């Protein structure tokens, strides 16, 4: 017999709370965070989100600005975001 309900992936932990649309948005974001990201500097798949909009490569230490929840900006708000010198000079404080 077929299941009459299905769990909603990573946002299944919320159960029926908060509403479908916002749960979908959270799911989209969280699955993006778990996905592997490629470094624009060394092409290694070692980029992690350090903070909102701050991305760091664990291999070459490259720190760059990107979207809040993904390393590239995907919205229509397209401004050229060159990697800042300040961010690159900051040593990987959280690395150790
Ligand atoms: Zn890198």
71: domain CATH number is 2.20.25.30
* pLDDT more than 70, % of the chain: 69
Contact (CB, 8 A) for 66 and 75: no
**Predicted local distance difference test score (pLDDT) of residue 21:** 92
Tens of pLDDT along 55-78? 999 999 999 998 888 888 766 555
Structural domain includes residue 17: no
* pTM metric for this prediction: 0.61
Structural domain includes residue 19: no
Number of domains in the chain: 1
Quote the ligand 1 centre to 14 CA distance (angstroms). 35
Give the integer Cα–Cα distance in Å for 29 and 9.
Answer: 12
Quote the ligand 1 centre to 46 CA distance (angstroms). 7
DSSP structural state of residue 70? S
Quote the ligand 1 centre to 13 CA distance (angstroms). 33
Tell me which range, 2-6, 8-12, 83-87, is most confidently predicted by mean pLDDT: 8-12
**pLDDT higher than 60, residue 81:** no
**pLDDT higher than 60, residue 32:** yes
Strand order in the sheet with 47-51: 47-51, 54-57, 63-65
69: domain range? 36-89
Quote the ligand 1 centre to 83 CA distance (angstroms). 13
Quote the ligand 1 centre to 19 CA distance (angstroms). 38
**pLDDT higher than 80, residue 36:** no
Plot region of 53 (φ>0 → left; ψ -120 to 50 → alpha; else → beta): left
Whole-number Cα distances in Å, 2 to 5, 8, 11, 12, 16: 9, 17, 22, 19, 21
Quote the ligand 1 centre to 41 CA distance (angstroms). 5
């Amino acid at each position: 017999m077929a299941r009459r309900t299905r769990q909603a992936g990573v946002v299944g932990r919320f159960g029926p709370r908060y509403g479908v649309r916002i749960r979908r948005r959270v799911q989209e974001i969280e699955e993006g965070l778990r996905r592997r990201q490629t470094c624009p500097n060394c092409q290694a798949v070692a980029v992690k989100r350090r903070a909102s909009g701050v991305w760091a490569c664990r291999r070459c230490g490259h720190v760059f600005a990107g979207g809040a929840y993904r390393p590239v900006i995907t919205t229509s708000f397209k401004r050229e975001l060159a990697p800042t010198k300040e961010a690159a000079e900051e040593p990987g404080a959280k690395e150790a």
